[in-house]
Structure 1
Amino acid sequence: MKLRRTPALVTAGITAALAGVFVADVAVEHTAQERIARAAGCRLQARGPVTAELSGTFAGLRALTGQVGSVHLAAEGVRRADTDMDIKADLYDVTRDGGISGGRATATIPYEALQKRLADSGDAAAGAEGLTVGGDAKGLTLTGTVGGLGLPVTVHASTSATATGVTITPTTVTVLGRELPIATVSGLPGAAGLAERLAPRTVDVGELPEGVSLTGVRTTGAGLTLDASLAKSSSSDTDGNHCMSA
Structure 2
Amino acid sequence: MNSKDQFQFSKGVILYPVFFVLLIWLIFSLEIRFGINFTEYGIYPQTLKGLRGVLFSPFIHSGISHLYHNTIPLFVLTTALFYFYRPIAWKVIIYGILLSGFITWSIGRPSYHIGASGLIYVLVSFTFFKGIFAKYYRLIALSLLVIFLYGGMIWYVFPIEAGVSWEGHTAGLLTGLIFALIFRKEIAKPKKFAWEEESFNEEEDPFLKHFDENGNFIELPDMETELEATTEDVLNVDYSMTREQEGRATIHYTFKPNKD
Q: Which has the higher helix share?
A: 2
Q: TM-score higher than 0.5 here?
A: no
Structure number with larger C-alpha Rg: 2
Per the normalisation by structure 2, the TM-score is 0.24
Q: Which has the higher strand share?
A: 1
Per the normalisation by structure 1, the TM-score is 0.25
